[in-house]
Amino acid sequence: MTNQSSCCQDKSCCCEESSKKEIKIDFLYLDLNVCERCQGTETNLDAAIKDVSTVLEATGYDIHVNKVNIITKELAFEYEFVSSPTIRINGKDIAIEVNESSCKDCGDLCGDDVDCRVWSYEGEEYTEPPKELIINAILKAIYSENKTESMDEMITINYELPDNLKRFFDSLEKKQDI
């Protein structure tokens, strides 16, 4: 017989919540008003979470989604932003490699040439991550053997803002000064 504290005998207590595991999803993007890549990524992320949420809840996971519009260089540094759009699960980018192609929408937004992320999945390239890629990344994060890797262990010591993003933010600032 186990000895429970009086807290855990009350069904409404906080002790039950502490047994929940957490999946933290960060969605980092440059723009949701103009950029079709960012809009499509948000749509596919929302659909993937909807599809997998029942399974996650049944297995004791809470999903927390943090959507961050990277509107300044400072935010880019804070989140160590490498390419738009980005999805991270528990601090880890779901894309194995960062591949980019010209993004007319973000280029129009800032008035310069800008490259944004393309996603590779099952031998194909997409300008928006397929819902299946996102679902697989979420499930992999849950069932991966290397669950102990923390965000602190993944932080790059010498993060530098990529030239592509420097050009985007510099052009955006010049455009706003006009």
What is the rounded distance in angstroms from the CA atom of residue 71 to the CA atom of residue 49? 25
All domains in the chain, ordered by first residue: 21-142+160-177 (3.40.30.10)
What are the pLDDT tens digits along the chain (178 aa)?
434 444 444 444 444 445 688 999 999 999 999 999 999 999 999 999 999 999 999 989 999 999 999 999 999 999 999 999 999 999 999 998 999 999 999 999 999 999 999 999 999 999 999 999 999 999 999 888 554 444 444 445 689 999 989 999 999 888 877 6
22: left (phi > 0), else alpha (psi -120 to 50), else beta?
beta
Q: Using omega within 30 degrees of 0 as the cis cutoff, is the peptide bond preceding 162 cis? A: no
Output 150-157 pairs: Cβ under 8 A, ≥24 positions apart: 150/91, 151/90, 151/91, 154/91, 154/92, 155/80, 156/80
Task: Classify residue 44 by burial, with Cβ atoms within 10 Å: 0-12, 13-18, 19+.
Answer: buried
